[in-house]
Amino acid sequence: MGERAAAGGGKWVDIAPERLPRWLENFGTRHGAYQEMGLTLIAADGVTATLSAPPGAGPAETVAELIREAQASRRLGLLLARKGAIAVGIADGPDLVVSKVDTHYVQGRTAAGGWSQQRFARRRDNQAKAAAADGAGIVERILLPEVRSLAAVVTGGDRSAVESVLALRHLAPVAALRAGRLLDVPEPRRAILVDAVAAARAVPILLKEA
């Protein structure tokens, strides 16, 4: 599904739960027979693969348990925010069952100085606050009523934009379910939200060379 560099060396790969057994077979073929140390695989050539549970999955101490938990159906909330765009949805397993996308104009930064720069900064700040308020309203309508049914809330986009949306006190139950990882997504659109469902369900695996 994709890979990204890992802090401290190695790389992360995201594998769909349904593809995980096949990925493990291919890992053994490429790197030789491997031993399981909890959720870490140590291959014959020294390459290691450490599996992590996806958002909302139950605890697992072995790879078999992780596969079972990752493949289990669960409902996830999604919140993608970047500048003046927001996408909110609910996924039931791999399917996006509820969604709402909205855009709100937020002026870009200006290189002007003096009073002009201050005026643009104030205008931009007001636009950003209005966008965050609108986004919070969407979260309130879509995620808050369903919060008891959600295993986790997966966020993506710009961290400050996401945190601005979730800053309101009455959205605390939604914020409490927020998964640790922030998905790297472009400006939210419905197609991006659909892709985010797969990313949210994926099993992150940290690969490191010998």
Distance CA 132, CA 124 (A): 12
Contact 146, 163 (CB under 8 A): no
The angle that helices 20-31 and 63-71 make with each other, rounded to 10 degrees, is 150
The DSSP secondary structure of 17-74, one letter per residue, reads GGGHHHHHHHHHHHH--EEEETTEEEETTS-EEEE-PPTTPPP-SSHHHHHHHHHS--
Q: Which residues, other chains included, contact 49 with Cβ-Cβ below 8 Å and sequence gap of 6+?
A: 27, 34, 40, 41, 43, 205, 206, 207, 208
pTM of structure:
0.86
- Can you read off the two tokens belonging to residue 10? 């190695």
Q: To 10 degrees, the CA torsion angle through 158, 159, 165, 171?
A: 140
Distance CA 155, CA 52 (A): 18
As a whole number of angstroms, the longest Cα–Cα distance in the chain is 67
Residue 131 has a pLDDT of 60
**Element containing residue 118 per DSSP (H, E):** helix 114-142
Distance CA 134, CA 118 (A): 24
CATH superfamily of 75-200: eRF1 domain 2 (3.30.420.60)
Pairing of strands 152-157, 178-183: parallel
pLDDT in tens, the chain (210 residues): 678 999 999 999 999 999 999 999 999 999 999 999 999 999 999 999 999 999 999 999 999 999 999 999 999 999 999 887 899 999 999 999 999 999 754 445 544 555 456 655 555 555 555 566 788 999 999 999 999 999 999 999 999 999 999 998 999 999 999 999 999 999 999 999 999 999 999 999 999 998
Residue 134 has a pLDDT of 81
- Can you read off the two tokens belonging to residue 96? 């996006």
Instruction: Tell me the HSE value of 120 on the side-chain side, using a 13 A CA sphere.
Output: 11
Domain boundaries, the chain: 3-73+202-208, 75-200
pLDDT in tens, 55-102: 999 999 999 999 999 999 999 999 999 887 899 999 999 999 999 999
Tell me the Cα Rg of the chain: 20
